[in-house]
Chains A and B, each alone.
Chain A
Amino acid sequence: MSSWKENPILTVEHLTMRFGGLVAVDDLSFEVGRSDITALIGPNGAGKTTVFNCVTGFYKPTEGRITMNRSNGQSYLLERIPDFQIAHHAKVARTFQNIRLFGGMTVLENLMIAQHNKLMKDSLFSIGGIFGISSFRKSEKASVKKATEWLERIDLIDRADDPAADLPYGDQRRLEIARAMCTNPELLCLDEPAAGLNPRETQDLNGLLRSIRELDKTAVLLIEHDMSMVMEISDHVVVLDYGVKISDGDAAFVQNDPHVIAAYLGVDDDEVDEAEAEAKVANAEGVKS
């Protein structure tokens, strides 16, 4: 059952994050499988985004170890390296709960910035670029091509030259994912990618995430509140409540775990048995936060 334990791309061990007196994440350990879509779920305030911020280096965890095992065999201890190097060297990309696009720049420019490090190198750190050396021009062309491919995949090719802030919400979400993918990540962390999307857009998103796993061979770790989506596409679900892991397994396992039901319905632990009975009535669709 726990295939993610055999070949994890990301191993989180005893992760603890305190803000002053508040313990946002408490002794959390889990694995993310190399070819899985892993979902991190939990009620509001469970510490999911904090985990993301620790993994991507925006927060430095109080305790614990986060290991990224790249496919070329190199390992990185993410809690020790600065955020931009996590994206650059450890190949972990992310999106944000409140979309963070470069609103005043065009859709294409957004995807070009994601390829900054490669272009920077090929422009000989701008010196070659100023003189317009041919290898840089070639590299720039390749980057535009890659961006174009992604724009086709997310169906935004017609809006390539429009400012990103001008796009509708759902398109912005997809663009942010495409932008993260343009950094060539091996692990993609998505913070509530389906928030604010309508059911059709959510379906498209599912397709996109599957293609990212299959075509791009990129592992996906996502935070999501839309249970139907989580249960549909996740290979592995980790459930947090008040910063503590309460369940870990495949979708079916988690769905029937009394602890999860208790956390979501807000009942005491000793009422878990009752809740289990209730949960049989409320199917997966109905269980939303």
Chain B
Amino acid sequence: MADFLNTRVGAALKDAVLAAVVTLLLTSIMVGIKTKTEQGGLGIEGNWSLVAWMVLAVLVGRFAMSLLVWRGRNPVANAMQSILPKQETVGKIGKFVGPALLVFALTLPFYGNRYVIDMGILVLTYIMLGWGLNIVVGLAGLLDLGYVAFYAVGAYSYALFAQYFDLSFWVCLPLAGILASFWGMILGFPVLRLRGDYLAIVTLAFGEIIRVVLLNWYEFTGGPDGISRIPRPSFFGLEFERKGGFADFFGIPYDSMHRVIFLFYLILALALLTNFVTMRMRKLPIGRAWEALREDEIACRSLGINTTNTKLTAFALGAMFGGFAGAFFATRQGFISPESFTFMESAIILAIVVLGGLGSQLGVVVASIVMIGGFEVFRDLQDLRMLVFGLLMVVIMIWKPRGIISSRAPSVFLKEKKAVSGDFVAEGEG
């Protein structure tokens, strides 16, 4: 018996049985007994067949996996690595993926249907948010768990300016960005001297504070009812209306798709602006200082870099793009409420940045497409899809702890531009 357990099959079997026992323990109560609402309170009913299936699935699955795929200490990573291309190949393909995706995005409205374009808008919104947060988390290495607050500030700025002062989207867009970055600085100034996880919890708290205020300041923000009938953006003053709008001006038949396509290009332009500014900043002294800050804050100070200001600019810039995205969100939805700005949103944006690979612009795009696009594709799964979403986050992270694209492109080079392997890049303490 002992000999058998030492063989590969035996060890796998033992492991599988152990896993099955744990599954049985986990599911026995949570799954095996289901609460149901009855007259006069809660009742229970047995659901043992599901438990049996789960235990069996784990037993067989784990046994098969240990025999066929898993080896070594980090089984998931090893298994995935044998299936997927290596980081160097990804880096080489990466050069072509960026432009290809851009061409794809630019031409999408010509062949996509309404559903696809709507999904494109959603994915692009997350790409923009991811790029904005990438400045803070990926470049400057500051862990921000309340990024959604700036998104909310942007959305509410536009909605409120439009409601109270009747300002148009194009006037409000910069205002939303400025206000969001202003809030970023107000928050940033006192808390940026905190380190690591203290910063994380304070930013999380700030996000929650903003949401609770929006929820309860009924007279001003409409509380949980939110703000509806937010004006739609115009195309250089031309509204997308049946009469006398965009279609009439260009002499083409009216189509409700025009506005959708316009919104698609609008968010694409905003996202590309974010990307352009970020890429540009990376090559400027301030961008280099952000990355240096992520690598070693003490060394930065020893070189005369004002770390507080450097952090503040990263925070304010990231917040500004969050604000832009928020204003876009408001005008696209036409309705906003605090529901849209929960911590889960922040967590998803952060997950996109980390899964994509900290500091990598392309990584954000890939992660957004996989996470948000995938999420929408599995719409039919309903409740299960959020479960799958969470599991996917876990699996990708274990597979690639440094994200899908982990190498870093240097901001300046002498002879040859060589990507820096992710293993050397620090993640920041702030």
Contacts and interface: CB of A to CB of B under 8 A. Distances in A.
Q: Do chains A and B touch in the complex (CB under 8 A)?
A: yes
Interface of A: 56, 58, 83-88, 93-94, 96, 100-106, 108-109, 112-117, 119-120, 123, 125-126, 129-130, 140, 144, 148, 157, 160-166, 179-180, 183
Given A102-B299, A105-B288, A161-B415, 13 more contacts: A83-B301, A104-B291, A105-B295, A108-B414, A116-B305, A123-B286, A126-B281, A126-B284, A130-B284, A144-B414, A161-B413, A162-B418, A166-B424
Nearest to B310: A116
B424 A163 contact: yes
B288 A116 contact: yes
A136 B423 CA distance: 32
26 contacts: A56-B302, A58-B301, A83-B301, A84-B300, A87-B304, A88-B306, A93-B303, A100-B302, A101-B296, A103-B295, A104-B408, A104-B420, A108-B410, A108-B414, A113-B285, A116-B292, A116-B303, A116-B304, A117-B305, A144-B414, A161-B413, A161-B417, A163-B420, A163-B421, A166-B424, A183-B304
Contact of A103 (B305, B414, B424): B424
A105 B302 contact: no
B422 to A, nearest CB: 8
A58 B298 CA distance: 9
B80 interface: no
Contact of B415 (A120, A160, A165): A160
Interface of B: 277, 280-281, 284-286, 288-289, 291-292, 294-296, 298-307, 313, 408, 410-418, 420-421, 424-426
A187 to B, nearest CB: 13
Central interface residue in A56, A130, A179, by most chain B CB within 10 Å: A130
Contacts of A114: 303
A178 to B, nearest CB: 12
B304 A88 contact: yes
Contacts of B418: 106, 161-162
B193 to A, nearest CB: 12
Contacts of A164: 424
Central interface residue in B277, B285, B296, B415, by most chain A CB within 10 Å: B285
Contacts of A86: 304
B281 A117 contact: no
Contacts, number: 144
Contacts of A179: 303
B302 A104 contact: no
Given A102-B299, A109-B412, A84 B285 contact: no
Given A120-B285, A130-B277, A105 B303 contact: no
Given A103-B424, A126-B286, A183 B303 contact: yes
B286 A102 contact: no
Given A104-B426, A105-B291, A160 B420 contact: no
A246 to B, nearest CB: 29
A179 B411 CA distance: 17
B299 A106 contact: no
A74 to B, nearest CB: 16
A112 B301 contact: no
A93 B414 contact: no
A144 to B, nearest CB: 7
A73 B15 CA distance: 75
A160 B414 contact: yes
B303 A104 contact: no
Contact of B285 (A104, A129, A183): A129
Contact of A104 (B289, B295, B412): B295
Contacts of A180: 302-303
A120 B287 CA distance: 10
A126 B280 CA distance: 10
Nearest to A165: B424
A54 to B, nearest CB: 14
Contacts of B420: 104-106, 163
A62 to B, nearest CB: 21
Nearest to A99: B299
Contact of A113 (B277, B292, B306): B292
Contacts of A58: 298, 301-302
Contacts of B410: 105-106, 108-109, 161
A109 B414 contact: no
B139 to A, nearest CB: 12
Contact of B413 (A106, A117, A123, A166): A106
A140 B283 CA distance: 10
Given A106-B410, A112-B288, A113-B289, A84 B304 contact: yes
Contact of A84 (B307, B313, B416, B421): B307
Given A123-B285, A130-B280, A163-B420, A108 B303 contact: no
Contacts of B300: 84, 113
Contacts of B302: 56, 58, 83, 87, 93-94, 96, 100, 180
A33 to B, nearest CB: 23
Given A108-B413, A117-B304, A163-B424, A101 B281 contact: no
B299 A96 contact: yes
Contacts of B291: 102, 104-105, 109
Nearest to B418: A161
Nearest to B295: A102
B28 to A, nearest CB: 47
